């Protein structure tokens, strides 16, 4: 079993246990045809790990904070962002809502599926984008092991000066 397969299995176990602990079940997984339909609407492919989360774990509802968005909601949010005054970058798909208008997004054109934060409370569009994790793989590991800044009890939020790192790719993608 390779590293990605192990990660998917760990996410699936955590997602099932969390859902059962809340007396719920996970949303059903999506089929490859639903991924293809979403990619056709978006105009770009989902990173393989993100597509695998939807086809092997569930259609959102698991993960940090309120969990991943359903693919339908992610596609809808992308469309709304692209038509907004925020000059939403091409290929940057919202995958989770962290509240207070902060969105977690995946750069679907990045080789590593870089994870970005969009915080409109920071003012100008160029300032609203920062890098949360160099890869979706690493972002998920931070959630699983509880070391990410957004995890309850994580020392990252208290011990480190979490100054957001601006996303330099913004201007080239609008």
Q: Judge whether 13 and 72 are in contact, CB under 8 Å.
A: no
Burial class (CB in 10 A: 0-12, 13-18, 19+), 57: buried
Q: Which of 49, 101, 44, 48 is nearest to 75 (CA)?
A: 44
Identify the band that residue 163 occupies on the pLDDT scale cut at 50, 70 and 90.
low
The pLDDT assigned to 88 comes to 92
3-state secondary structure 91-115: CEEEEEECCCCCEEEEECCCCCCCE
Contacts 24+ apart (CB under 8 A), 7-10: 7/49, 7/137, 7/140, 7/141, 7/144, 8/49, 8/52, 8/53, 8/56, 8/57, 10/144
pLDDT at 22 over 80: no
Comparison of pLDDT for 125 and 151, the residue scoring more = 125
Both tokens of residue 1?
């079993």
Which pLDDT band, with edges at 50, 70 and 90, does 152 fall under? low
Q: Please determine, for residue 148, whether its predicted confidence score (pLDDT) is greater than 80.
A: no
Residue 100: which residues within 8 A CB-CB, separation 6 or more? 119, 121
The pair of structure tokens assigned to 35 is 């991924």
Around 86, how many Cα atoms within 13 Å sit in the side-chain half-sphere? 22
**Taking all residues of the chain, what is their mean pLDDT, rounded to a whole number?**
88
Q: Please write the tens of the pLDDT for every residue from 29-83.
A: 999 999 999 999 999 999 999 999 999 999 999 988 888 999 999 999 999 999 9
pTM of the model: 0.90
Percent of the chain with pLDDT over 70: 90
Residue 170 near residue 125 (C-beta atoms within 8 A): yes
What pLDDT band is residue 162 in, cutting at 50, 70 and 90?
A: low
What pLDDT score does 12 carry? 95
Q: Residues 134, 167: contact at Cβ < 8 Å?
A: no
Section 107-118 average pLDDT: 96
Task: Report d(CA 116, CA 118) in Å as an integer.
Answer: 7
Q: Give the CA count within 13 Å in the CB-facing half-sphere of 170.
A: 19
């Amino acid at each position: 079993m390779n590293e990605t397969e192990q990660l998917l299995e760990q996410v699936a176990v955590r997602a099932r246990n969390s859902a059962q602990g809340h007396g719920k079940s996970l949303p059903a997984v999506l089929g490859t045809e639903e991924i293809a339909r979403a990619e056709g609407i978006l105009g770009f492919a989902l990173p393989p790990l993100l597509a695998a989360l939807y086809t092997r774990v569930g259609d959102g509802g698991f993960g940090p904070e309120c969990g991943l968005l359903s693919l339908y909601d992610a596609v809808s949010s992308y469309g709304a962002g692209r038509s907004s005054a925020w000059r939403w970058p091409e290929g940057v798909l919202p995958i989770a809502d962290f509240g207070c208008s902060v969105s977690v997004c995946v750069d679907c054109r990045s080789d590593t599926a870089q994870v970005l934060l969009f915080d409109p409370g920071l003012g100008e569009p160029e300032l609203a984008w920062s890098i949360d994790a160099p890869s979706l793989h690493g972002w998920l590991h931070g959630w699983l092991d509880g070391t990410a800044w957004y995890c309850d009890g994580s020392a990252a939020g208290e011990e480190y000066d979490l100054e957001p790192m601006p996303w330099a790719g913004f201007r080239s993608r609008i």
